[in-house]
Structure 1
Amino acid sequence: MSGCTPDAPVTDLSQETLADAAELCELVRTDYAYYPDRQENWEAACAGFAGMLGPVTTKPEQLRALETLVDALYDPHATFGTHSGMSPRVVPSGSDYWLEGDRVTAVRPGSAAARAGLVVGDQIVAINGRPLADAIVTRLHPKNASSSETQKAWALNAAAAGYRDEPRSVTISRISESETLSLDGYVTDAQQVPLSSRILDGNVAYIRLHDSLGDSRTVAAFDAAMDTMREANSWIVDLRDTPGGGDTNVAEPILGRFLSKAAEYQQIRPTDAPEWVKTAEPHGDWTAKGPVAVLVGRWTGSMGEGVAIGFDGIERGEVFGSDMARLAGGVEDYRLSQTGFPIRLPAYDLAHLNGTPRHEWSPPYQVVADNGDGPDLALAAALDWFGRLED
């Protein structure tokens, strides 16, 4: 027809995608710290990738195909450093509630799930309109392989986080009645500052980090907060909002504010070299005195977990809360040759000073850490502990 603009030619990106998939398969074999544990699943996924690949004509479709391949690692610490509008949300950064079986065990305060009315203890019967078992299957790859309980637990929470291009909802059963809560349409407040601080009753200094363990402003902000509360009797370091992790240049000075001398705080376990131990040095013009409580939960991730096990291993703080995000190992950055997509893979294991892998360690003082819009039970437990120390 006259006057019509010809359609743009469709670009076939499948060969480029296959090449990067092959590169990624080899990268995992050579560099991924936990490949031996996931070898069978990974090799099955790599062998079947070409057969499951549909038409690929856009960058988002390329990324989605490779993201699905990475699902076969069932490792929340193995992630792409980019996303599209159809990418899965990353756990824990992109999630707002946590499931163990069909029960909600954590709800991120201030999140869409909390504002929609989801509470700890709720029984889930469907995620995003899919029965629980069907929702889990959406993230189990490869499809024809048997799945371990560890893989199913990962898939459950990955399904709960959902995909960026899908509506989110959760169906709960309360007193024999089902109710569906929409998780869309809620605006959550993003913190613009590295941390917040205040003095609590009993002259307790409280500092909460806002996903800022990778923020260059954090050390100065932490120092400034401590200076305003120098006369505190005791200290709370709240790590429950650190899902994005960070780096040692921020974490070690925080630990150092509570140290009078250098201290080992975390084991490093490379796959191709001897183990060694990270050390934190004293930091600042003065050292905090008095007992320290550290608060952790499911949105304490990666470097946040490292700080927590550091306080515990050094025996400079007592850790309160639930199990953490359990992000395994330390990541290295890579870039795929054809697409240029950046990807992060755990390249070495990390452990508590007592030898427990960081991702398997649990806080000694177990209490609900992330209680949605309910009372802060972990904070209350820490304050109660301080009170008992004074008795």
Structure 2
Amino acid sequence: MALAIEKDYAYLESSDRWRSLRAPWRKKALAAKTPAQLAAAFEGALSELHDDNVFLSGDGLPVARRVPSETDVWAAWSGERAMITAVRASSVADVAGLHPGQQVVSVQGVAVDRVVREKVAGRGGDGARDWALRHALAGPRAGSYVLGVRDEGGPLKVLEVTRAPESNNGAPILARKVGEGRDIAYLRLKNTLADEGLVMHFDAALAQMKDARAVILDLRSTEGGGSEDVVRSILGRFVAAESPWQVRESRGKRSEPDRVTPRGTPFTGPLVVLVDRWTAGEGEALAAGLDAVANATLIGTSMAGLRGRAREVMLPNSGWRLRFPAERVRHVNGTPRESLRPDIEVDLVHPSGGPGDPILYQALKLLEKK
């Protein structure tokens, strides 16, 4: 595992530093007597990278919840205050009463700054503290956990978040007409970018909406990874000629552009893409690609910021799989994909437009003008 990271991890700053960071975890791995102890040592070493696109998977592996694919709360430090900036709509965190703008005071009765300090152990800067905060708020894989939060100027509230069984039932894509004239196609992908069958459903939805003057593509539920083949297939419905859609770069190698070819009759009208912190991995790739090849307008918040194009390797003996970014990925304009921001940013703490979905509201407001 350690050698795979040292050899191919696209964001490794220094081999010597990586060896130093993993040294205490290597001792724990060598002393492990159970698979659980070995997994804890491996995950401890990987956590030193503070990269949510690096993780282990496999049968029987006692892993923590992944960010953002298995979490409902996004938070960041504002000075010395841990602030919630986004909560998934209708999630268990939403139901419990968490919302953007709240300050997190404690996790399971322990001061949040202490929890984060213990996770990063003084290593890394603000990015590492934000990473540790989001992992602290992820909660356990099952059961409930308690957060102490405070609204601006309000008293301390203790909220219990109870995990419920997750369901993946339902169609892979939601399609309907919206707007005052019901002439705008709204397509919402439901965390299905890994499903090759999505392409068929997407084509059917576009055909159903063929008379729409504009399309809103909602990628706010694409947190669970995906297939680059599916991404290219969707991109192909929005280009009239072969076009570069992203640029990849491995350590020590030249940049290489990826190109997409047209597929079917392209949609060439106004295109708006909705994004938020749960637009992750291939969801981010699709959003950035549509920005590059279809002049899409991105509306929402910053995305998950998962870095690079991932590779998966099988670890010997354990049968576990290690996933990590082996190539950096950039927008065709040179911007690192993880740094891409929406054209229209929506403040979820102080949203405009009244009750309802503030991101969708901004999309409809924009398209009604066109």
TM-score, normalising length: structure 1: 0.86
Alpha-carbon distance in 1 for matches of 2:327, 2:12 = 11
* Structure 1 counterpart of 2:24, one-letter code: G
Higher relative contact order (CA 8 A, sep 6+): 1
Q: Deviations over 1:344-370 (max 9, x none)?
A: 010010001111111111111101479
Q: Tell me, which stretches of 5 or more residues in structure 2 are unaligned?
A: none
Q: Identify which of 334, 339, 342 aligns with 1:360.
A: 339
Can you list the C-alpha shifts for 1:145-180, whole angstroms capped at 9, x where unaligned?
532211111111111113426742221113431111
Matches of 1:287 and 1:315, distance apart in 2:
10
Residue 360 of structure 2 is aligned to residue 383 of structure 1: no
Tell me the matched-pair count: 360
Q: 1:35 aligns with which of 5, 8, 12?
A: 12
CA distance in 2, matches of 1:264, 1:107: 34
- Please say if residues 108 and 371 of structure 1, whose CA atoms lie closer than 8 Å, have aligned partners that are also in contact: no
Selected match of 1:308 from 266, 284, 287: 287
Inter-partner Cα distance in structure 1 for 2:102 and 2:17 = 32
Structure 2 CA distance, aligned partners of 1:369 and 1:220? 34
Q: Tell me the CA shift for residue 120 of structure 1.
A: 1.1
Q: Which residue number corresponds to residue 74 of structure 1?
A: 50
Deviation at residue 187 of structure 1 after TM alignment:
4.8
In 2, Cα distance between equivalents of 1:118 and 1:146: 29
CA distance in 2, matches of 1:85, 1:276: 35
In structure 2, C-alpha distance between the alignment counterparts of 1:302 and 1:219, rounded to whole Å: 18
CA displacement at 1:129 relative to structure 2? 2.7
Contact 2:239 2:268 in 1 (8 A): no
Structure label with greater radius of gyration: 1
The Cα of 1:39 is off from its aligned counterpart by: 4.6
Residue in 1 that maps onto 2:22: 46
CA distance in 1, matches of 2:30, 2:115: 22
Partner amino acid, structure 2, of 1:379: L
Q: Which of 23, 26, 32 is equivalent to 2:3? A: 26
User: What is aligned with 2:327?
Assistant: 348
Whole-angstrom distance in 1 between the partners of 2:30 and 2:156: 37
How far apart, CA to CA, are the structure 2 residues paired with 1:40 and 1:176?
48
**Equivalent residue in structure 2 for 1:182, among 160, 176, 179:** 160
- Cα 1:344–1:316 change in 2 (3 A) is same
- Shift of the 139–190 alpha-carbon distance from structure 1 to 2, 3 Å rule, reads farther
What is the aligned counterpart of 2:70 among 94, 118, 124? 94
Where does residue 115 of structure 2 map in the other structure? 135
The answer on whether the counterparts of 1:87 and 1:163 sit within 8 Å (CA) in structure 2 is no
Corresponding residue to 2:208 among 206, 210, 228: 228
Task: Verify the 8 A CA contact 1:119 1:371 in the aligned structure 2.
Answer: no
Tell me if 1:120 matches 2:100.
yes
Mapped partners of 2:201, 2:106: distance in 1: 42
Which amino acid is the alignment partner of residue 229 of structure 1? M
With the length of structure 2 as denominator, give the TM-score of the two structures: 0.91
Whether 1:169 aligns to 2:150 is: no
Pairing 1:150-299 to 2, within 5 Å after superposition: 150-164=127-141, 167-174=144-151, 175-201=153-179, 202=181, 203-284=183-264, 286-299=265-278
Report the alpha carbon displacement of residue 299 of structure 1 after superposing the two structures with TM. Answer: 0.4
Distance 1:376 1:347, change over 3 A: same
Q: 1:252 to 1:297 in 2, by over 3 A?
A: same
Q: Which amino acid is the alignment partner of residue 216 of structure 1?
A: E
Separation in structure 2 between the aligned mates of residue 279 and residue 159 of structure 1, nearest angstrom: 39
Deviation at 1:41, TM superposition (A): 4.9
What is the distance in 2 between the residues matched to 1:51 and 1:256? 49
For 1:151, give the aligned amino acid.
Answer: A
Using the alignment, how far apart are the partners of 1:369 and 1:216 within structure 2?
33
Per-residue Cα deviation, 1:258-312 (whole angstroms, up to 9, x for no partner) = 111111111111224211111111112x222320000011001111111111111
1:185, distance to aligned residue in structure 2 (A): 4.5
Pick aligned residue for 1:322 from 301, 304, 308? 301
Q: Distance in 2 between matches of 1:318 and 1:191?
A: 30
- CA distance in 2: counterparts of 1:307 and 1:352, whole angstroms: 11
CA distance in 2, matches of 1:199, 1:370: 28
- The CA deviation at 1:138 is 4.2
Q: Which runs of 4+ in 1 moved over 6 A?
A: 369-372
Amino acid corresponding to residue 199 of structure 1 in structure 2? K
CA contact (8 A) 2:237 2:267 kept: yes
Percent identity between matched residues is 29
Q: 1:41-75 deviations in whole A, cap 9, x for unaligned? A: 53222222244569634323321221111101110
Secondary structure of 2:137 counterpart: helix
Mapped partners of 1:85, 1:264: distance in 2: 39
Per-residue Cα deviation, 1:218-255 (whole angstroms, up to 9, x for no partner): 00000011111110010011111111121221011111
